[in-house]
Structure 1
Amino acid sequence: MDEQALLGLNPNADASYRQRALAYFEQLKESPDAWQVCAEALAKGVYSNDHVKFFCFQVLEHQMKFRHGTLNATQQQLIRETLMKWLQLQLMSAQPEKVFIRNKAAQVFALTFVTEYLTQWPKFFFDILSLIGLNPRGVDLYLRMLMAIDAEVVDRDIQHSSEETRRNTLIKDRMREQCIPSLVESWYQILHTYQQSHSELTCQCLEVVGAYVSWIDLSLIANDRFVSLLLSHMSVEVLREEACDCLFEIVNKGMDPIDKTKLVESLCQVLQTAGFFNVEQEEDVDFLAKFSKLVNGMGQALITSWTKLVKAGDVKNAQEALHALEAKVALMLQLLVHEDDDISTNVVGFCYDYLHILKQLPVLSDQQKSNVEAVMLAVMKKLTYDDEYNFENEGEDEAMFVEYRKQLKLLLDRLAQVSPELLLEAVRRVFNTTMQSWQTAPFMEVEVAIRLLYMLGEALPASQGAHFSGDSTKASALQDMMRTLVTCGVSEYQHTSVTLEFFETVVRYDKFFIVEPQHIPNVLMAFLDHRGLRHSSPKVRSRVAYLFSRYVKTLHKHMSAFIEDILSRIQDLLELSPPENGYPALLTSDDQLFIYETAGVLIVNSEYPVERKQVLMKNLLEPLLGAFKLLLGKLLLEQDEERQAGLADCLNHAVGFASRTSKAFSNKQTVKQCGCSEVYRDCLQTFLPALSCPVQKEALRSGVRTFLHRMIICLEEEVLPFIPSASEHMLKDCEAKDLQEFIPLINQITAKFKAQVSPFLQQAFMPLVQAIFEVLARPAEDNDQTAALEKQMLRRSYFTFIQTVVSSGMNEVMGNQELENIERVLFTIIQGAVDIPDPIAQKTCFIILSKLVELWGGKDGLVGFPDFIYKHIVPACFLAPLKPTFDLSDAQTMLTLSECALTLKMIHLKRGPEFIQYLQQEYLPSLQVTPDIIQELCQVLQQPDSKVFKNYIKAFFQRAKL
């Protein structure tokens, strides 16, 4: 071997040596026989360096994995002999190999096994077993091989090809026939021999049994001598976790429901007799985590058996399975309430499925009712935060508890399905008791009491309105609890978790306040003072800003008397905080959006006369406008880039806040009806100059553009006078992205106002089109993916713009342009349909062409357009689908082809027999289409059904492209 290259295998070797080792590895892998040097080195134990030995195994692994088919019989025999000689060396050597070498060797043995067991090496296991006997080092390697074989042949998490799956099935069948009993016997001997002396070997062997039990004959394992051995391991501290896992796999094995019930029962009996059910006395939480998983497996196995037996109509055995199941519930409950959440989590599945069974039973026994109550109490207890929970800086442990709470919520929902009355009563009891003494109760008890009330909303099977209709016992119970919540003073509790839970619950049950509106003022005060929007915690303030907006949206009709008071109390929260202020604002700009929206909702939906609404909306927005003008002036003078960005951000917040207030308007309460048109026109007047600001151009344009979109909806035609100057600003020195984002605005105006904007569009049409052409023509780097994508998106936006214009019935916008400009635009559409391999753009182009033929293709259409149809549109319909880039198997391309077919149908509709004659005598013959196909195509084209023609065109081009 190349000793110099091998030096590079050392982890501390320098880069050039490592490079050389890598090259040597590639050389050995690819050479038809150089690997034999590695085989010899392993068989004779030539090298003592661990990295070299690992390297040799890697070379052999590559041969078995990728080149086995190229090896002749002698070479294959050599690999088998090498492996056995290496194994023999291990039995005699003074020191065992490092674990990473043993694992790699096991992998190579496993690969050799799967490729040769069915053909050249049927005695694989017998050869190994007879060689190793009970030598501990040999046993270790044998067990590692078995786990590596499991990974290759059985492991469901590993993807296998259909060929590998077929091979694996054959291997398992052959093993079951030939050697599984011998393997099981070897496992028994290993477990029996080494349980005292070599715990690591015993644990490895238990893992192997657990892995193989899923597909071998269970009676080989589930018998007295094996199970008693496993149970004896359950009492040995170093073995019991693995023994638990092994028993879990045995219980998990698919089998006949009656046999499964018997198996679980016998196992439970022995475990119970051995004292394992005394969970309280067990201090080892790691073992209990494994044991709880085993209990969960046994419970779910019995549930599966019961379900199958009920389905099969076997009442007697189903009853027995249920009886066996009920006997495990007490144990499950002990584990469910265990203080360690991992242990509790492990039995949630069993508990959930058990409740599902109870839900199906026609009537519950007293014991079952008491089980339901016990689950309820367990869930309530486990929902409680512990002292260590860090609310200010939530980490991984906190995230895990939040996830665990979600599982408990599922149990609570399931309890509500089994017995809503019991659940309601239990929650009511806990809630009322806690609220009576909330001042002295720990925060976690108060929080969980309110949390339970909150969770009832989803758990109880009635809509929220029904809870507060005063009809049913359910409704009145919830109503009582809500009344207690908002009158007992708990909103003053000094802990963020309780505060947040209070507000979340108030908003969840906002319908309660429609039934009892007298409580609204107190709750409003809680929202507005130190408990809510002025709380010391930013997290609480932020969440309350959102919850407050929801509360007001639902209940604004009941707030008429307080509107001006609320507006004056939130005044300081609405202030724009410029970056140089230096002191932190109470709310972030995102939170302020909710407050602005809330203010808008209160004003717009108030019962005030129009004049008063107008004044209030002006008072709300004018401070923003004043601040905007000042800040824009500052931005123009500011030299520092960071401060520029801060000012631009602040300007954008101002625009965003004004925009958010407009969300309060509706079809019933429009801007005009509320007398607010003038203040929003003032906003436009103030914001539009920012479009021509030379610094922070992209950020400012984006914000103002969004505001314009809102105003087109809210101000209706009153926005139109602002559009020409806005467009002019936005078309100045713009990039692809600016244009691409501007076009939707023009499309929105065109689609909404149609004829009203026709004069403006006729003027703006060519400047916009020219700006687009100019940006598209700019050279870009070949490998600049971003620029290429931006151009593609702009091109699509351009075609969408043309489509919007022609589809809005404003053909005069294009028709009144100068002839050369019309031609220029038309040619870009032909080019987009044929030459640009973008099916989305192509489809839009064919829609445009079809529409133009409809508008201008008739007898009184645009002068010269029929000529254009024959010279350019008809060829486009045939040349585009014939392009190699036009993929007829792609769904998006098929939509393009469909539009192409509809364009041909539209030409026929407008030009009639003249078009058919042109196809038959001039165009199709020029494409070398045979006369019979021409005849066929023209016949189908003349049929009234478009669908028939679409299908024909698809077949036509499929044939043409063969």
Structure 2
Amino acid sequence: MDEQALLGLNPNADARYRQRAMAYFEQLKESQDAWEVCAEALAKGIYNDDHVKFFCFQVLEHQIKFRHAGLSAVQQQLIRETLMKWLQCQLMNAQPEKPFIRNKAAQVFALTFIMEYLTLWPKFFFDILSLVGLNPHGVDVYLRTLMAIDAEVVDRDILHTPEETRRNTLIKDTMREQCIPSLVESWFQILQTYQQSHPELTCQCLEVVGAYVSWIDLNLIANDRFVNLLLSQMSVEELREEACDCLFEIVNKGMDPVDKTKLLVGCCCRFLFLLFLYPQEEDVDFLAKFSRLVNGMGQSLVLSWTKLAKAGNVKDAAETLQAVEAKVPLLLQLLVHEDDDISANIVGFCYEYLHVLKQLPQLTDQQKTNIEAIMLAVMKKLTYDDEYNFENEGEDEAMFVEYRKQLKMLLDRLAQVSPELLLEAVRRVFTNTMQTWQTAPFMEVEVAIRLLYMLGEALPASHGAHFSGDTAKTSALQDMMRTLVSCGVSSYQHTSVSLEFFETVVRYDKFFIVEPQHIPNVLMAFLDQRGLRHNSPKVRSRVAYLFSRFIKTLHKHMNAFIEDILTRIQDLLELAPPENGFLALLTSDDQLFMFEAAGVLIVNGESPVERKQALMRSLLTPLMDAFQRPSRGSSFMRINKQTVKQCGCTEVYRDCLQTFLPALSCPVQRGVLRSSVRSFLHRMIICLEEEVLPFIPAASEHMLKDCEAKDLQEFIPLISQITAKFKRQVSPFLQQIFMPLVLAIFEVLARPAEDNDQAAALEKQMLRRSYFSFIQTIAGSGMNEVMANQGAENIERVVFTIIQGAVDFPDPIAQKTCFIILSRLVELWGGKDGMVGFPDFIYKHIVPACFLAPLKPTFDLSDAQTVLTLSECAVTLKMIHLKRGPEFIQFLQQEYLPSLQVSPEISQELCQVLQQPDVKVLKNYIKVRVCLFYPRYTVGSLLLLLHFSKL
């Protein structure tokens, strides 16, 4: 070997040597036989340097992975001999190789196995086992090799080609027939031999058993001697985490429900005495594994019970339910554990257990006790701890938020099982806490209000969620809401309590329709230091949004407070920052909600029209003044459509439009201004209706200047909204703007971009989708003249882009849209009285598109959107037949299908289906027949298509 080049393998070597080493590596990889020096070095143990050994294995790996088929029989035999000689050397070494070398060796062994097990080396495992025996160094390599094989052959997270999948299936089938019993026996011997002397080998072996148990005969593992051995290792500190994982995989193995119950009942009985010791452990890592195991056992038992109950097997179902109930005390200990990871791991079993109880005709006293215990556990675990950082939430805080979502699922399920018990439990906790909120810790106050909030989604309406019925017999929810808004807890000085108070008030805003006398007090809480003027920006921001929602729901009950509210929030609507040097209380985004709330109050109030107009002008004039300053312009107002004209505010909003539109030509903050004006126009289309139309042409002209992809992508929905709403009213405008808009899109899509610029590629993809959606809106709006009057050359250019989108772009969403457009154009222009020359276009381009699109390698029939695209292909073909009749059938049979080498039988079959009146027949036919038309599709694709066709 090139000793100078090998010097470059040292991590500390200089760049010149490293470059020479890389060149040498490439030379050895590509040579027909130079790599054999690496095989010799490994077989004879010539080098002691770890980096050189690793290098030699890399060279060997490349030959096996990429050039194995081209190797001669002698060279293939050389690889096998090299590996076995290297392994033999390991048995004699006093010290094992470094882990990274053993891992690389295992990968090479695994690759050789995959290439040769079915043909050249059927005794692969027997040769290795006979060589290594129980030598610890050899066993280590053997176990690593098994895990490397699992990664290549079994691991579902690795994508494989259809050919690789078929090969892997054949490998597993052959292993099951020939060697799995021997492998299992070797695992048992390893587990038994090394559990005290070499716990690391035992852990490796447990990992192997857990990996392989999913696809081998479970009876080889789930038997007395194996399970007893695994259970004994649950009490060995060095082994118990891996033993837990291994047992978890065994428990999760699919099997007959009666057998599963027997396994789990027998398994549990033999180590039941251990189960109640573990929750007192301080080793949280182990307990997390243990709770995951118990969760798997519980869920498996529930699944068995469900199958047995559905089958009417009363006796076995009762025994299985008894086994489930036996785990509940342990479930409760783990659920309430102070470590949230341990608790979270048992939530699945808890949820399934409650689902079982929900299905029982009657609950026993013990089951009712279990339900109450789960409720108390959930309420306790919902509570924040002292370490939660509310001002700077990080990863730990995010994890607790997700954990709370899991607990909410349990609360919802508890409500389904026993709403009365849940309601009473929450009421008890809430009432007790509200009586002493002044002295209670914040986490107790917050969780009490949180429970009230969560009841709104957990309880059905019949339990008072909407505060309906006889108000003399107030519901528990109504009592709690009355307590919440009157006990003074809104003054509690903690952000979590403040936020929960306002969230709950808005969650139950219908309460104030029943008892409107509480509105003034709650309004004051919103408006003073408890809400919009709170010292926490987080609280102020959220309250601004909640205040807007509160006003929207209850505006009919606020007529007496409108001018007082507007006066109190006037400073919050100012766009200029305070002159005292402090930051504004609300951000510009938060101010949007305040403007919205103010507008709703004005428009829906009972003041005379003149007063409403004056209030609205007073509200918006500062906004328009600020907009005219170059640095402003991102705030606008959202308003209620139904009443804007009635309140006399149309003129005010026209004035706003006249003020805002000139800003589109301003070069400063152009993106922000365009986005703001665009959003304002969207809302004015709803509010002002046809009175907005005179402003659209000028706005469009400005927005089409110097466009980026994102600008156009956001502008197209505005034009689509106008088209869909006003239709023929805007036909002249659409005819005028159609080609400028299309050409602007073409120009942006044609701009060059870096090959690896994913952001630019995504922007273009989204713009292309928007473009096709725009054409679909035009074609489907009944305004045939918009496209028809663009001139033959422009029409042809546009329609060609639709053909291109249907066939060439690997984007099934866009492809589906394009076929919808083509079908519509055939309907409009493809008949005898249609557009001149369009029938020729149909036969030359649209028909081929329907058949060529599925030929593309990117046309992935395992994707649901692609299957929908295939359906639209069928609809397009059907539309062509409706418009062209027998002429189309003759074209297919005599010209087009023969050009695709389609057999006359299938051609005739397709044409017969095309002539069926129901298009569903054609859709289903094509979904199935596509696999025969295009042999690259597998049986798996066909099965997926059959599945989707049933949806």
Match of 1:232 in 2: 232
In structure 1, the partner of 2:863 is: none
**Contact residue 779 and residue 824 of structure 2 kept, 8 A:** no
Deviation at 1:540, TM superposition (A): 0.7
Match of residue 499 from structure 1 = 498
2:313 and 2:822 map into 1 onto residues whose CA distance is: 67
Question: In the alignment, does 2:99 pair up with 1:99?
Answer: yes
1: CA distance between counterparts of 2:551 and 2:646? 21
Task: Identify which range, 141-150 or 220-229, moves more after superposition.
Answer: 220-229
Deviation of 1:512 (Å): 1.1
Shift of 1:264: 2.2
Q: Residue 265 of structure 2 corresponds to which residue in structure 1? A: 265
Question: Residues 314-463 of structure 1 correspond to what in structure 2 (within 5 A)?
Answer: 314-462=313-461
Instruction: Between 519-528 and 317-326, report the one with greater CA deviation.
Output: 317-326
* Distance of aligned partners of 1:902 and 1:168 in 2 relative to their CA distance in 1, 3 Å threshold: closer
The CA distance in 1 between the partners of 2:511 and 2:660, in whole Å, is 42
Moved more, 614-623 or 801-810: 801-810
Letter in 1 for 2:57: F
Residue deviations 1:108-130 (CA, integer Å, cap 9, x gap): 22222333334433433333233
1:713 counterpart residue number: 686
Displacement of 1:402: 0.8
What is the identity, as a one-letter code, of the residue corresponding to 2:597? T
Q: Does 1:665 align with 2:678?
A: no
Aligned-residue offset at 1:73: 3.3
- Encode CA deviations 1:129-173: one digit per residue, 9 max, x unaligned: 332232221222222222223333433433444554454455445
Amino acid corresponding to residue 542 of structure 2 in structure 1? R
CA distance in 2, matches of 1:446, 1:788: 47
Task: Say which SS state the counterpart of residue 189 (structure 2) adopts.
Answer: helix
Match of 2:633 among 645, 651, 656: 651
CA drift of 1:373 comes to 0.8
State the percentage of identical aligned residues.
70
Contact 2:602/2:612 (CA < 8 Å) preserved in 1?
Answer: yes
Asked whether the equivalents of residues 751 and 808 of structure 1 are also in contact (C-alpha less than 8 Å), the reply is no
Query: TM-score scaled by structure 2?
Result: 0.82
Identify if the C-alpha distance between structure 1 residues 502 and 135 changes in structure 2 by more than 3 Å, giving closer, same or farther.
same
Is the counterpart of residue 538 in structure 1 residue 537 in structure 2?
Answer: yes
Q: Measured at CA, do residues 425 and 624 of structure 1 come closer, stay the same or move farther in structure 2, by a change above 3 Å?
A: same
> Which amino acid in 1 is paired with 2:796?
I
Partner of residue 686, structure 1:
659
Change (3 A) 1:79 1:471: farther
Q: What secondary structure, in the 3-state scheme, does the structure 2 residue paired with 1:652 have?
A: coil
Q: Deviation at 1:75?
A: 2.6
User: What's the counterpart of residue 643 of structure 1?
Assistant: none
Asked if the contact 1:574/1:592 (under 8 Å) is kept, the reply is yes
Asked whether the 8 Å contact 2:38–2:60 carries over to 1, the reply is yes
CA deviation profile, 1:484-506 (whole Å, cap 9, x unmatched) = 11111111111111111111111
CA distance in 1, matches of 2:769, 2:244: 64
Q: Per-residue CA shift, 1:536-576, capped at 9, x if unaligned?
A: 11111111111111111111111111111111111111111
RMSD: 4.5
Quick one: structure 1 residues 903 and 545, their matched pair in 2 at CA, closer, same or farther if it must change by over 3 Å?
A: same
Q: 1-side partners of 2:209 and 2:63: how far apart?
A: 30
Contact 1:888 1:894 in 2 (8 A): no
Indicate how the Cα distance of structure 1 residues 6 and 183 shifts in structure 2: closer, same or farther if over 3 A, else same: same
Alpha-carbon displacement from aligned partner over 1:673-708 (angstroms, at most 9, x marks no partner): 211122122212322332343544454344334434
1:799-838 residue pairs with structure 2 within 5 A?
825-834=791-800, 838=804
Residue of structure 1 in register with 2:941 after alignment = none
1-side partners of 2:361 and 2:619: how far apart?
A: 61
SS of the equivalent of 1:253 reads coil
**Shift in Å at residue 83 of structure 1?**
1.3
Partner of 2:648: 675
8 Å contact from structure 1 (residues 834, 879) kept in 2 = no
- Partner AA of 1:436 in structure 2: Q
User: SS at 1:534's partner residue?
Assistant: coil
Letter in 2 for 1:58: Q
- Name the stretch that deviates more: 550-559 or 713-722: 713-722
Inter-CA distance 894–442: structure 2 relative to 1 (3 Å threshold): closer
Q: Does the CA contact (< 8 Å) of 1:467 and 1:479 recur in 2?
A: no
- Helix, strand or coil: the match of 1:626? helix
Q: Call closer, same or farther: CA 1:477–1:123 in 2, change over 3 Å.
A: same
Q: Provide the C-alpha distance between the structure 2 equivalents of 1:178 and 1:799, rounded to a whole number of angstroms.
A: 58
Equivalent position SS for 1:468: coil
Q: Distance in 1 between matches of 2:917 and 2:262?
A: 68
Alignment of 1:752-767 (within 5 A): 761=732
Q: For residues 779 and 147 of structure 1, what CA distance do their matches in structure 2 show?
A: 48
Q: What is the alpha-carbon distance in structure 2 between the residues aligned to residue 779 and residue 258 of structure 1?
A: 62
Which shifted more, 208-217 or 589-598?
A: 208-217
CA contact (8 A) 2:578 2:584 kept: no
The 1:126/1:753 distance shift into structure 2, 3 A limit, reads closer
**Cα distance change, pair 471–171 in 1 and its aligned pair in 2 (3 A):** farther
Partners of 1:798 and 1:363 in 2: CA distance: 58
The aligned residue for residue 563 of structure 1 is: 562
Q: Distance in 2 between matches of 1:700 and 1:267?
A: 68
Does the CA-based 8 Å contact 1:877-1:904 persist in structure 2?
A: no
Superposition deviation, residue 230 in structure 1 = 3.0
Q: Structure 1 stretch 876-885 or stretch 358-367: which is displaced more?
A: 876-885
Which stretch of the first structure deviates more once superposed, 142-151 or 335-344?
Answer: 142-151
Is it true that 1:155 corresponds to 2:155 in the alignment?
yes
**1:86 partner letter:** W
CA distance in 2, matches of 1:579, 1:17: 65
- 1:489-528: CA deviation from partner (whole Å, max 9, x where unpaired): 1111111111111111111111111111111111111111
Deviation at 1:431, TM superposition (A): 0.8
- Distance of 1:167 and 1:748 partners within structure 2: 53
Distance change (3 Å), C-alpha of 1:293 and 1:850: closer
**1:38 to 1:472, Cα distance in 2 relative to 1, 3 A:** farther
Distance 1:486 1:152 in 2: 62
Number of aligned residues: 881
- For 2:573 and 2:792, the matched residues in 1 are separated by 51
Aligned ranges 1:120-269 → 2 under 5 Å: 120-269=120-269
User: 1:651 is paired with a residue of what secondary structure?
Assistant: coil
Shift of 1:98: 0.6
Counterpart residue identity of residue 183, structure 2: L
Q: 1:28 to 1:723 in 2, by over 3 A?
A: closer
Asked if structure 2 preserves the Cα contact closer than 8 Å seen for 1:54 and 1:104, the reply is yes
Picking from 663, 676, 680, the partner of 1:703 is 676
Q: Structure 1 residue 841: deviation in Å?
A: 8.2
Q: Which moved more, 1:797-806 or 1:135-144?
A: 797-806
Give the CA deviation at 1:826. 4.0
Map Cα deviations across residues 745-772 of structure 1 (whole Å, 9 max, x no partner): 67766776678778xx58x976986797
- For 2:634, the aligned partner's letter is N
Distance 2:333 2:178 in 1: 45
- AA at the equivalent of 2:10: N
Residue 934 (structure 1) aligns with: none
- SS of match in other structure, 2:532: coil
Deviations 1:184-241 (A, max 9, x none): 4433333333222222122222222333334444454444444443333233222222
Task: Give the C-alpha shift of residue 177 in structure 1.
Answer: 4.7
Corresponding residue number in structure 1 for 2:575: 576
Deviates more, 1:496-505 or 1:33-42: 33-42
Greater shift, 185-194 or 280-289, is seen at 185-194
Compared CA separation, residues 579 and 107, structure 1 to 2 (3 A): farther
Counterparts in 2 of 1:748 and 1:378: CA distance versus 1, 3 Å = closer
Deviates more, 1:223-232 or 1:369-378: 223-232
Moved more, 118-127 or 360-369: 118-127
In structure 2, the partner of 1:644 is none
Give 1:828's aligned amino acid: N
**Aligned counterpart, 1:41:** 41
Counterparts of 2:769 and 2:250, CA distance in 1: 63
Which residue in the other structure is 2:89 paired with?
89
